[in-house]
Chain A
Amino acid sequence: MAHGPRSFNEARGSSGAALQQILSREDRNIVGGGFGRRTTAGVRLSTPACVVYVVRKLPADALPRERLLPRTMEINGVTVEVDVEETGPFRALEYTDWVKRPVPSGVSIGNVGLPIYGTFGCLVRDLSNGGRLSILSNWHVLARRNNARPGERITQPGSSTAEDHTIGTLARWVNINFNGDNYVDCAIAHVSGSNVVANKTMGDQAVIKVPSMSQPAVGLLFAGSGTRTIMNPMSAVLRRLNVELLDRAAYEDYGDDDEAFRISVAKSGARTEVTRNNLQEIDVSAKIDYDNIGEVKFVHQITANVMSCGGDSGSVICRVPPAPEYGHVPCAEPSSCAFLGTAERMTGIPFSQEGDLVRTARDKYLAQTKVGRWLIDMVYVNQRALFERGESTQVQPGDRALAQALYTRYLGEVKLAIADPARDDLRLTTAHLADVQLALTSLKKYLTEQEAGAADVLYNMLQGQVGKKPSELIAMLDDPGVHQTVITLFGEAPFLADPYTG
């Protein structure tokens, strides 16, 4: 007869064996697991458990029976508790080796003359050169420590020397005084060509974006220790380089009010990606150790609790809302999702009455594909923007009528497809395509030119799929090429933030 674990080691060993069995299922929603404690209603209990990490935690009725995880498992006579934790997908940290065009801030950049990298802080305008678009980072990242000459190539990724990875040329820096006080460690590179860089930040847009009035830049990260991250005040960086942020006034200074000690800050860096913490001290003087140079003194600096590691130098640190306001709350129920509610108001279609249908389509099919997962996360990340855009859009009566007519015409067919996507009698026809074309014509009145172009590309992709069953169309959404095409198309729509890359 099975019994509960009698020791820590027995619980741990049994949990490990249980996890191996679970991982062997090759369910794409399961991304890992470990030995921990059960969490119930947000409370971590003392019960040891095999904690299984899933991309999305789905209700039992949204999953086929064979994909359900047991609440307990029996391993060699020991009962193992199984707990499921929604973690989202895992990926390696470090925005270092990606080749990304246009290049967002937060990724690795470097001078071809140095075998090391730092971070692309943000875009600025060079006021000494007619406002030329420039990349802001550190002196020790871009300028090879007083050894560089203007015009040296700056590459992304930072460790690359490839000619076609060039994104700019070193323009100007503030020399470091090795024997006296320093205020900034900063430099700029002029951007090479058009469409090379983007005024976006890598990472979770719900946490940090490029400097704006709502998320003003506080400092330029350049050093750290075991417990502190040090930054140059952004006002000093801008003044000494004679540059301005694209949103000119999007930075702030701290005077004799105690504002600085109450704020949260965040950065997107090439090594530790998006991290946040609190400002800790101002008016900081510190000795900074530079490789092969020795200690250099900096004054009038700002510190935060540690939020960086090597490679993050050059990141711009911005004030962000306190942690509880971060992120998005996934739609527990479709009817409670602001985006769907807006769609309902715009079209007059009662989506909320079909909550189960929407949820099943999302969780059972869409979430199991690359494109679907990306789309779901994109909607989550952009919920506010979508909501605001929807609320400000007045849909013409004719377009509402068309949307309702198409909804009525296809609701039954969609229900059948969701119930059994592999059935033979449901296939994409030219009549479907004609209706899609009709819907697109109506929709384009509310889209930008870029968005309309993207919609046309997607429509053309669909044209090649006539005759396919719903299951085959769903499988197409898991195709890496289709996935990349969709991401590229959305990347051209400045209104939407990519959920993973910004």
Chain B
Amino acid sequence: MKRRSLLAALALAAGCGTTDGGPVYEEGVDLATARRVLADRGDDLDRDYPASVGHGVGVVVRDPERADGRAYGIVVYLRQDRDRPRGRRFVDGVPVTFTVTGDFEAT
């Protein structure tokens, strides 16, 4: 609740989102495919990336406007940058990107 995360406050003040240099793909998959694969393989992701704090379906390509609907992939949330695996990753052909969110706290 009223416990303010300094990082959150700074990010909010800066109006920033996630621009932490994770892998960016030239081509993703369509949204339905990304959702289906995450639903099927979410538990595997938890096992493969134990340092992560969560994951979801999001835009993973550099230029979504030009992606013609194939802009989506799986976004894995990391506590810290050193948890980021090297190289590009895919699950069943779906690109996986990693972004540092820090811990999630109930606010």
> Which residues of A line the B interface, CB within 8 A?
114, 116-118, 138, 140-141, 185, 221-228, 230, 256-258, 261, 271-272, 275, 277-278, 280-291, 301, 303, 305-313
Q: Mask for B55-78, Cβ within 8 A of A = 1, else 0?
A: 111110000100001011001010
Q: Mask for B14-52, Cβ within 8 A of A = 1, else 0?
A: 001110100000000001100100110010001000000
Give chain B residues whose Cβ lies under 8 Å from the Cβ of A281. Answer: 56-58, 75
Cβ A306 vs Cβ B1 within 8 A: no
Cβ A313 vs Cβ B17 within 8 A: no
Known: A271-B2, A306-B12. A312 touches B107 (CB 8 A): yes
Known: A226-B8, A256-B35. A313 touches B56 (CB 8 A): no
Q: Which of A227, A290, A310 lies in contact with B11, CB distance below 8 A?
A: A227
Could you tell me how many residues of chain B have their Cβ less than 8 Å away from some Cβ of chain A?
44
Give chain A residues whose Cβ lies under 8 Å from the Cβ of B3. Answer: 291, 310
Scan residues 90-107 of chain B and give those whose CB is less than 8 A from a CB of chain A.
Answer: 99-107
Cα separation A307 to B57 with both chains bound (whole Å): 19
Cα separation A118 to B102 with both chains bound (whole Å): 22
> Which residues of B line the A interface, CB within 8 A?
1-5, 7-12, 16-18, 20, 31-32, 35, 38-39, 42, 46, 53-59, 64, 69, 71-72, 75, 77, 99-107
Give chain B residues whose Cβ lies under 8 Å from the Cβ of A256. Answer: 31-32, 35
Q: Write the nearest CB–CB distance from A226 to chain B, whole angstroms.
A: 3
Cβ A303 vs Cβ B56 within 8 A: yes
Cβ A311 vs Cβ B1 within 8 A: yes
For the complex with contacts A285-B46, A287-B53, 8 further pairs of A-B residues with Cβ separation under 8 Å are: A225-B53, A226-B8, A289-B105, A290-B106, A291-B106, A308-B8, A311-B2, A313-B106
A315 to B, closest residue via Cβ:
B107
Known: A287-B104, A310-B1, A313-B106. A227 touches B58 (CB 8 A): no
Give chain B residues whose Cβ lies under 8 Å from the Cβ of A313. Answer: 1, 106-107
Give chain B residues whose Cβ lies under 8 Å from the Cβ of A282. Answer: 35, 56-58
Cβ B104 vs Cβ A288 within 8 A: yes
Cα separation A226 to B9 with both chains bound (whole Å): 7
Cα separation A230 to B8 with both chains bound (whole Å): 12
B77 to A, closest residue via Cβ:
A286
Give chain B residues whose Cβ lies under 8 Å from the Cβ of A114. Answer: 1
Give chain B residues whose Cβ lies under 8 Å from the Cβ of A290. Answer: 105-106
